[in-house]
């Protein structure tokens, strides 16, 4: 029976019902086909997850040029992805197919076949940085995505996947293209790419589109557009950031169209780095991706131990609605030993949802042990080292934690997403300003201001929203208690109008630095300055709607707009010990969780309902009797253990 899946405002809708997208990754290409059915059955039965995600490595299915990709196992049984999909269908599982072209996934050359490397074929352009140096992956030069020769190869690969694998009546229900940008480069500085001939040609085309005439360009920039691109000056820096956003959108569009599929298409962005947060904010503009949906990954550190990792993770989740498409549930040796215990991954999965994610992924759900050296010549089995399902197919200690989380979200995920976060304000993002800050232009610091705002809000126990000022109007802004934005010399006229209208309705605008007096064309525009001068002084501070009064933890509250239902997420730091007390508008919630632990609590009709509380973290040597108390109600594990209560 076919299932209708669509994505609305970042939320997966299955047969008309909004649903939290809960998925589990299984890299079929790393296991022998004889164990595929057993591992899929274990994911379904032991983990309670019925949507499988899997990359399709291009180098695995088409290792040599001049021959059609093998999806049937005619050259190698492990390439029989059609057989794998038939098994999924027989077991009642749906699939998110991820054909790249670049996938990372610890596969050699990121999954690209060696024959598309520019050093193997001089017709293929190299991806170049600002100094003309080729970008590499695993020692191999990466191809420029818009170069004609590589573009043709990549589009042929994706077309073959679309024709032979993405059967609309089959188990595949979503398609993910690319990986963490294009080549796991979404968080790199704007100077890292793309200065190849094809990239610069696309840049020149955008300049003609944006400015219309050489005269208008020269008026803004003070020089001809025939000169090499530079980050010097406001206009040039804003242009290069805008180019990056257009470039990413264009490659996504081409690769999406190449599949020829009518299935929804998603992408996964890696979170920003601290050093290049402005570059990431300038590049990643999901509103520009017509018909392509936002998602993100983690891979930036243990958030329960590292405040910077926490901030990066939260910003990725808040930027735009979409699912967490890769949460580390299996890699401790490759990333951090803290992931050996389920508490770390459980904490991060709940944080992603609390911060705005519309789904979670278990990456990877089952350990594997059989792949060719041509696919991965570096890593040893098992891959990963501590998955919820071990390499022999047995359930590990992580399995009950995954199953509890999946069960909670299966029951309440749609309602959780309908509930609205209780926030104390919003930060206004203006991507051109981030591009200027990324170029180091004095007086502009979008990313630095955002990180400071994040720290202040979390210290006050306040959640917050991110608002895209390039697209928001006064009506959207009216939903926030205050808008804080970084200072700078320019801000688009439409954004200034929206903020002025918001001020006129009694809103509070805080500009941290110079108030902008120019518009996006760098012409005089004082709409915001005039509105600020004419508004009565307001304050963005206030009593926290949810506040941790005991313990070292964060708390996030969501309130359903129609039902008497609230969701409280509590996230304990690694340094926490003992009881966490959280004051909410409806009373105090007390709970006991382990160090680095987490809890999600459903409050319905003023009573405790279903709860998940992590009580053990073996990595940190912490084991407590997990419990929750709210009013007259108490739930307890009864002994040092997790508390997973689903009525």
Start-to-end CA span in the chain (Å): 30
User: H helices within 131-185, ranges in order?
Assistant: 148-164
509 neighbors 499 (Cβ within 8 angstroms): yes
Binning pLDDT at 50, 70 and 90, where does residue 214 land? confident
Q: Which two tokens stand for residue 148?
A: 């004609």
- Checking phi first, is residue 20 left (phi over 0); if not, alpha (psi -120 to 50) or beta? beta
Q: What is the pLDDT of residue 394?
A: 98
- Cα angle vertex 49, ends 270, 395, to 5°? 100
Q: What is the pLDDT of residue 169?
A: 82
In the block, residue with structure tokens 């901030």: 311
Inform me whether the pLDDT recorded for 62 exceeds 80.
yes
Mean pLDDT of 577-586: 94
Binning pLDDT at 50, 70 and 90, where does residue 231 land? low
Rounded CA-CA distance 431/428 in Å is 10
Inform me whether the pLDDT recorded for 542 exceeds 50.
no
Rounded CA-CA distance 493/525 in Å is 7
pLDDT, tens digit, 9 for 90 and up, residues 149-164? 999 999 999 999 999 9
Mean pLDDT of 593-617: 98
Greater confidence, 81 or 521?
A: 81
Q: What is the pLDDT of residue 185?
A: 97
Burial 175-213 (b: 16+ CB within 10 A, else e): bbbbbbbbbbbbbbbbebbbbbebbbebbeebbeeebee
Cβ–Cβ contacts within 10 Å for residue 564, how many? 12
Average pLDDT, the chain: 95
- Give DSSP secondary structure letters for 458-493: HHTT-EEEEEETTT--HHHHTTSS-EEEE--SB--H
The alpha-carbon radius of gyration of the chain (Å, integer) is 25
Q: What is the pLDDT of residue 538?
A: 55
Binning pLDDT at 50, 70 and 90, where does residue 590 land? very high
Mean pLDDT of 618-624: 98
- Cα angle vertex 285, ends 283, 287, to 5°? 160
Give the whole-number percent of the chain exceeding pLDDT 70.
97
Mean pLDDT of 606-613: 97
Q: What is the pLDDT of residue 541?
A: 47
Inform me whether the pLDDT recorded for 472 exceeds 50.
yes
Inform me whether the pLDDT recorded for 534 exceeds 90.
no
Inform me whether the pLDDT recorded for 588 exceeds 80.
yes
Rounded CA-CA distance 26/368 in Å is 9
- Checking phi first, is residue 496 left (phi over 0); if not, alpha (psi -120 to 50) or beta? alpha
> 194: cis peptide before it, omega within 30°?
yes
pLDDT, tens digit, 9 for 90 and up, residues 401-417? 999 999 999 999 999 99
User: H helices within 356-484, ranges in order?
Assistant: 399-418, 431-438, 446-459, 474-477
Ordered strands of the 547-550 beta sheet: 547-550, 579-584, 587-592, 627-630, 633-636
Inform me whether the pLDDT recorded for 168 exceeds 80.
no
Domain boundaries, the chain: 5-128+139-191+247-418, 423-534, 547-645
Q: What's the CATH code, domain 5-128+139-191+247-418?
A: 3.20.20.80
Mean pLDDT of 126-130: 97
Q: What is the pLDDT of residue 395?
A: 98
Q: What is the pLDDT of residue 154?
A: 98
- Give DSSP secondary structure letters for 564-600: SEEEEEEEE-TT--SEEEEEETTEEEEEE--TT-EEE
Rounded CA-CA distance 576/553 in Å is 7
Chain-centre distance for alpha carbon 158: 23
Q: Which two tokens stand for residue 305?
A: 């131990």
Q: What are the residues whose beta carbons fall under 8 Å from the beta carbon of 258, sequence distance 6 or more?
A: 154, 155, 156, 158, 159, 162
pLDDT, tens digit, 9 for 90 and up, residues 436-445? 999 988 878 8
Rounded CA-CA distance 219/14 in Å is 52
Q: Among the listed ranges 196-210, 539-553, 577-591, 629-643, which one has the minimum average pLDDT value?
A: 539-553
pLDDT, tens digit, 9 for 90 and up, residues 431-469? 999 999 999 888 788 999 999 999 999 888 889 999 999
pLDDT, tens digit, 9 for 90 and up, residues 76-125? 999 999 999 999 999 999 999 999 999 999 999 999 999 999 999 999 99
Mean pLDDT of 521-529: 94
Q: Please report how the helices 399-418 and 36-47 are oriented relative to each other, as an axis angle in degrees rounded to 10.
A: 60
Mean pLDDT of 255-275: 97
- Cα angle vertex 282, ends 276, 287, to 5°? 135
Inform me whether the pLDDT recorded for 377 exceeds 90.
yes
Q: What is the pLDDT of residue 583?
A: 95
Rounded CA-CA distance 583/404 in Å is 26
Binning pLDDT at 50, 70 and 90, where does residue 539 land? low
């Amino acid at each position: 029976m076919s299932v209708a899946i669509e994505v609305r405002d970042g939320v997966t809708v299955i047969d008309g019902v909004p649903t939290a997208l809960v998925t589990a990754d299984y890299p079929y290409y790393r296991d022998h086909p004889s164990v595929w059915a057993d591992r899929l059955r274990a994911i379904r039965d032991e983990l309670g997850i019925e949507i499988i995600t899997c990359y399709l490595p291009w180098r695995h299915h088409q290792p040599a040029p001049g021959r059609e990709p093998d999806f049937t196992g005619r050259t190698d049984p492990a390439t029989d992805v059609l057989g794998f999909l038939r098994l999924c269908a027989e077991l009642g599982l749906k699939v998110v197919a991820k054909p790249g072209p670049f996938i990372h996934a610890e596969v050699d050359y990121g999954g690209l076949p060696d024959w598309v490397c520019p050093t193997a074929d001089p017709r293929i352009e190299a991806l170049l940085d600002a100094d003309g140096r080729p970008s590499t992956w695993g020692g191999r030069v990466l191809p420029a995505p818009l170069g004609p020769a590589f573009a043709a190869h990549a589009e042929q690969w994706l077309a073959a996947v679309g024709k032979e694998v993405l059967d609309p009546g089959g188990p595949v229900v979503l398609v993910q293209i690319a990986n963490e940008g294009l080549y796991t480069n979404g968080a790199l500085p704007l100077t890292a790419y793309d200065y190849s001939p094809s990239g610069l040609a696309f840049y020149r085309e955008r300049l003609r589109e944006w400015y219309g005439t050489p005269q208008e360009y020269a008026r803004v920039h003070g020089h001809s557009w025939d000169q090499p691109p530079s980050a010097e000056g406001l206009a040039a820096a804003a242009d290069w950031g805008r180019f990056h956003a257009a470039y990413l959108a264009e490659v996504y569009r081409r690769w999406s169209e190449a599949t020829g599929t009518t299935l929804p298409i998603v992408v996964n962005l890696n979170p920003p780095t601290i050093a290049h947060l402005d570059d990431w904010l300038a590049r990643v503009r999901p509103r520009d991706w017509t018909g392509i949906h936002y998602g993100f990954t983690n891979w930036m550190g243990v958030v329960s131990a590292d405040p910077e990792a926490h901030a990066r993770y939260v910003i990725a989740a808040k930027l735009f609605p979409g699912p967490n498409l890769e949460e580390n549930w299996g890699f401790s040796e490759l990333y951090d030993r803290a992931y050996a215990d389920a508490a770390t991954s459980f904490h991060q999965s709940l944080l992603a949802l609390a911060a705005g994610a519309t789904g979670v992924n278990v990456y990877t759900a089952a350990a594997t042990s059989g792949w060719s050296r041509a696919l991965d010549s570096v890593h040893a089995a098992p891959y990963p080292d501590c998955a919820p399902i071990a390499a022999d197919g047995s359930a590990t200690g992580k399995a009950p934690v995954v199953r509890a989380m999946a069960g909670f979200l299966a029951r309440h995920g749609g309602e959780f997403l309908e509930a609205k976060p209780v926030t104390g304000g919003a930060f206004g993002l203006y991507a051109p300003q981030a591009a200027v800050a990324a170029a180091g232009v004095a007086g502009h610091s979008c990313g630095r201001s955002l990180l400071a705002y994040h720290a202040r809000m979390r210290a006050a126990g306040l959640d917050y929203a991110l608002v895209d000022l390039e697209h928001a109007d006064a009506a959207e802004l009216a939903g926030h208690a205050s808008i804080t934005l970084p200072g700078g010399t320019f801000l688009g006229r439409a954004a200034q109008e929206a903020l002025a209208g918001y001020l006129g309705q009694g809103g509070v605008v805080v500009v941290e630095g110079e108030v902008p007096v120019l518009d996006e064309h760098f012409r005089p525009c004082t709409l915001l300055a005039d509105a600020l001068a004419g508004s009565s002084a307001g304050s963005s501070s206030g009593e926290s709607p949810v506040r941790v009064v005991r313990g070292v933890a964060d708390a996030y509250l969501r309130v359903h707009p129609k039902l008497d239902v609230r969701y409280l997420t509590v996230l304990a730091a690694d340094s926490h010990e003992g009881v966490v007390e959280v004051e909410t508008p409806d009373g105090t919630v007390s709970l006991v969780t382990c160090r680095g632990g987490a809890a999600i609590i459903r409050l319905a009709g003023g009573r405790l309902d279903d709860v998940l509380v992590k009580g053990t973290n073996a990595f940190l040597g912490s084991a407590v009797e997990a419990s929750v108390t709210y009013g007259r109600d108490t739930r307890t594990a009864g002994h040092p253990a997790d508390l997973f209560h689903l009525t």
